[in-house]
Amino acid sequence: MAEFIGARRSNPRATIFCAGIALCVLVAAPLCAEDHPSTKAMRKMSRQELNQQVRDDLLATLDSNSWIGLGNRVALRNITLNTKPFGTDFDGVCQRDTVTLRYTDAVPGEANATKPVRPYSIEARPTFHIVHLPRIETAMGEPDPAHIAQPACTDIERAWRKQARAEGKDLAKWDGASWAEAKDAFHVVQAGFMLDMALAAVRAHTLKPEPCSDNDRSIERSCEETILDAGGVADMTAIESCPAEPGLICARIDFPTGQKLTIVAHGNAEDPAPASIKSIAVEMYITVT
């Protein structure tokens, strides 16, 4: 597990979080526009000039290589695409935002794939990827441009493809690095530490998994095998907090292989690294073909 050192965070929930497209523009634009005008220059722009600049910035945040999902409905309702990856305040912890452009029928009536549609709304939700667990050295504060542009994040897909080729993966069957939906970067780091510690304890046979549920299990294998096959911190696809008694923290973690693990640790909500792991359980196992 990565070392946890230095001061505790003064604001554990201060994160680089894109709650909407406006903030996505402000955070991600520096990664892709070296000749971007200064704040002073933007304040001197006319309304029309500033409108065009912000529109250009919005397009610059989007990943031109992002997979675009059209959905399965007869009439188009949503299109999803991603922003370019950028760094959070945690070294080695990256974020990108999944942007959804919502459509409706241009002319009210029965939905039909041959009828025109029009966009009417846009939203963004954050997703995260841990390249490596961070060393916590300083209290969190305002977003640091050095963290936002950390090479581990801006170069993440190229590095992932290089590693995948080295491992002999068929890149035609993989979309790229796994990205986890989560509340914010702090909860991703906390879940990452919990998972890393729990997997180490399972491998060392110092932590016995709780009995596996029979629900959704299509093959016979031990709980230990199921847990260790799930993946590591770089493979998480969804993270959510779960209820826990005082002095404990709980995280539910999903993986692309179909596993859902629940980990309970001794710790508190203010620290990203728990003191020790209390339990780990397999909530679900689905064979993914």
φ/ψ of residue 178, rounded to 5: -80, 135
Provide the pLDDT for residue 4. Answer: 36
Radius of gyration of the chain from its Cα atoms, rounded to whole angstroms: 21
Provide the pLDDT for residue 191. Answer: 96
Share of the chain residues as helix, strand and coil, in percent rounded to the nearest 5: 30, 25, 50
Q: At what angle do helices 21-28 and 47-61 cross, to 10 degrees?
A: 80
Contact in structure between 50 and 72 (CB atoms under 8 Å)? no
Provide the pLDDT for residue 138. Answer: 45
Which segments of the chain does DSSP mark as H helices, in order? 21-28, 39-43, 47-61, 145-148, 151-154, 156-166, 185-203, 223-230
Provide the pLDDT for residue 2. Answer: 40
Report the SS3 class of residue 94. Answer: strand
Provide the pLDDT for residue 29. Answer: 40
Contact in structure between 191 and 182 (CB atoms under 8 Å)? yes
> pLDDT tens, position by position, for the chain (289 residues)?
443 333 333 333 333 333 333 333 334 444 444 577 888 888 998 999 888 888 888 888 888 776 676 766 667 788 888 899 999 989 999 999 999 888 888 877 766 777 788 888 989 999 999 999 988 654 455 567 778 888 889 888 888 778 778 877 776 666 678 899 999 999 999 999 999 999 999 999 999 887 776 554 445 678 888 888 888 999 999 999 999 999 999 999 999 878 899 999 999 888 888 999 999 998 865 544 4
Contact in structure between 239 and 252 (CB atoms under 8 Å)? yes
Provide the pLDDT for residue 247. Answer: 94
Q: 288: which strand partners?
A: none
Contact in structure between 87 and 153 (CB atoms under 8 Å)? yes
Query: What is the rounded (10 degree) CA torsion for 259, 260, 264, 268?
Result: 120
